[in-house]
């Protein structure tokens, strides 16, 4: 029998235990090491939304809002929900169909902050009356929206909000290893640790740094060493944190 776990228990898991738990719970194809960009990295910063996804069908609230930094896994989460639950997915940046033409099922809208607000207002009402979920994904939190009407504002702010937090030490390290492996880059652990202590601690910055290091290594040996990270950072001082900024990075010991 599969055991359910609380958000608190998930946050206390080690990285390997966390992945093992969700491999069993969600039946994700984690045994294929080359499928790095099609999977969500699990860790304390996104434990709440992972717990929700585990309980998708039993979750009592049908209006869900997921927000988080760029490159934090929202698009990957969209694919997982679409594949696992057959949810109908729309991008607010694309041409949206008339509500009467939408299927009678759960709907997820990516880049929700770009949705025409009158259309979204009617969609919220439609999904509520049809007893289907409406999931909004956005880089912006609800309080950051510029609402055209009070009616829509009150409806959006009534959504249950999941926030993907900034990376902690564990997730940053695991994500770095994953990105390096996806590019077939051999590395020294000391090089990765040095890099993570000195670049901006954002998902986007880490993605960009690994991509740039891949290009940087084309002109050198393929293995990433401490010396090469130092050389790379010496040419990219805008990426380097100050001592004070490094001391403010979220760590395992700073978790509540």
Q: Which residues of 25-36 are buried (b: 16+ CB within 10 A; e: fewer)?
A: bbebeeeeeeeb
Report whether 123 contacts 107 (CB < 8 A). yes
Residue 166 is classified by DSSP as P
Q: What number is the average pLDDT over the span 101-121?
A: 95
How far apart are the C-alpha atoms of 61 and 58, rounded to whole Å?
9
Q: Map tokens 């491999």 to a residue.
A: 23
Name the nearest CA neighbour of 123 among 94, 92, 150. 92
How far apart are the C-alpha atoms of 71 and 220, rounded to whole Å?
28
Judged against a pLDDT cut of 90, whether residue 105 lies above it is answered with: yes
Q: What is the pLDDT of residues 70-89, one digit of tens each?
A: 888 888 888 888 887 779 99
How high is the pLDDT of residue 11?
53
Name the nearest CA neighbour of 49 among 85, 23, 10. 10
**Which one has a higher pLDDT value, 162 or 43?**
162
How high is the pLDDT of residue 242?
45
CATH classification for the domain delimited by 169-254, as one of 1.10.8.60, 1.10.10.10, 3.30.160.620, 3.40.50.300: 1.10.8.60
Q: How confident is the model at residue 96 (pLDDT cuts 50, 70, 90)?
A: very high
Q: What is the pLDDT of residues 35-63, one digit of tens each?
A: 333 467 788 898 999 888 888 888 889 99
This prediction has a pTM of 0.72
Quote the tokens at residue 44.
Answer: 């304390």
Q: What number is the average pLDDT over the span 94-109?
A: 94
Give the number of other CB atoms < 10 A from CB of residue 3.
8
Judged against a pLDDT cut of 80, whether residue 194 lies above it is answered with: yes
Topology match between the domains 61-165 and 169-254? no
Q: How is the beta sheet containing 134-138 ordered, strand by strand? A: 88-91, 107-110, 134-138, 63-67, 160-163
- Whole-number average pLDDT of the chain: 80
Quote the tokens at residue 1.
Answer: 């029998």
CATH classification for the domain delimited by 61-165, as one of 3.30.450.20, 3.30.70.260, 3.40.50.300, 1.10.287.110: 3.40.50.300
Q: In degrees to the nearest 10, what's the CA dihedral of 113, 125, 58, 24? A: -30
Q: How confident is the model at residue 245 (pLDDT cuts 50, 70, 90)?
A: very low
Judged against a pLDDT cut of 50, whether residue 107 lies above it is answered with: yes
How high is the pLDDT of residue 217?
87
Q: Which residues have CB under 8 Å from 115's CB, separation 6+? A: 92, 96, 109
Indicate the burial class of 233 (C-beta count within 10 angstroms; 0-12, 13-18, 19 or more). Answer: middle
Q: What is the pLDDT of residues 129-158, one digit of tens each?
A: 999 999 999 999 999 999 999 999 999 999
**Domain chopping of the chain, boundaries:** 1-55, 61-165, 169-254
8, HSE (Cβ side, Cα atoms, 13 Å):
1
How high is the pLDDT of residue 108?
95
How high is the pLDDT of residue 7?
46
% of the chain residues with pLDDT over 90: 48
């Amino acid at each position: 029998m599969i055991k359910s776990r609380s958000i608190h228990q998930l946050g206390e898991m080690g990285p390997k235990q966390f992945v093992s738990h969700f491999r069993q719970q969600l039946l994700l194809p984690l045994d294929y090491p080359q499928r790095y960009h099609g999977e969500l990295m699990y860790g304390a910063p996104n434990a709440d939304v992972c717990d929700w996804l585990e309980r998708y069908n039993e979750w009592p609230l049908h209006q869900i809002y997921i927000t988080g930094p760029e490159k934090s896994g929202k698009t990957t989460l969209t694919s997982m929900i679409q594949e696992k639950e057959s949810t109908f997915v729309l991008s607010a940046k694309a041409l949206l169909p008339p509500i009467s033409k939408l299927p009678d099922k759960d709907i997820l809208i990516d880049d929700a902050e770009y949705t025409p607000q009158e259309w979204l207002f009617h969609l919220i009402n439609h999904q509520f009356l049809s007893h289907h979920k409406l999931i909004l994904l956005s880089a912006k939190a609800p309080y950051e929206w510029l609402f055209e009407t009070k009616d829509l504002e009150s409806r959006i702010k009534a959504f249950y909000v999941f926030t993907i937090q900034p990376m902690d030490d564990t997730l940053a390290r695991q994500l770095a290893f994953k990105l390096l492996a996806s590019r077939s880059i051999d590395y020294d652990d000391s090089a990765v640790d040095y890099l993570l202590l000195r670049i901006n601690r954002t998902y986007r910055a880490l993605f960009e740094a690994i991509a740039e290091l891949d290009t940087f290594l084309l002109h050198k040996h393929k293995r990433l060493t401490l010396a090469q990270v130092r050389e790379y950072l010496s040419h990219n001082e805008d990426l380097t944190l100050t001592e004070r900024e490094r001391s403010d990075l979220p760590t395992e010991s700073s978790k509540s």
